[in-house]
Amino acid sequence: MNAYKRYLTIEDPNHIVLSGLPFKPGQRVEVIILAEDKEREALASKLQQLFKETQASHQDNPLTDDEITAEIEAYRRGE
């Protein structure tokens, strides 16, 4: 399935106009409308930053496979 993405701002919630689409007359398409979610985008950005900080904290002293295995086993034991 080919995808075509177009961004627009809703001016009238009862009417959306899409023009200049790259489809042939009579071609069947599926329309999905996704609203922008600023809160979710901000949360994703914070999570990405946390990942970067976590990775950076172990660059000078990386965990060994044995240390990782020991942490997993301790977690599973409830420690």
Q: pLDDT tens for residues 40-55?
A: 889 999 999 999 988 8
Handedness of CA 53, 58, 63, 67 (dihedral sign): negative
State if pTM tops 0.85: no
Residue 32: what pLDDT? Answer: 92
Give the residue carrying structure tokens 């922008």: 36
Average pLDDT, the chain: 90
Residue 38: what pLDDT? Answer: 87
Residue 37: what pLDDT? Answer: 84
Do the beta carbons of residue 29 and residue 23 sit within 8 Å? yes
Average pLDDT value for residue range 6-24: 90
Separation CA 77–CA 67 (nearest Å):
15
Question: Is 80 exceeded by the pLDDT of residue 57?
Answer: yes
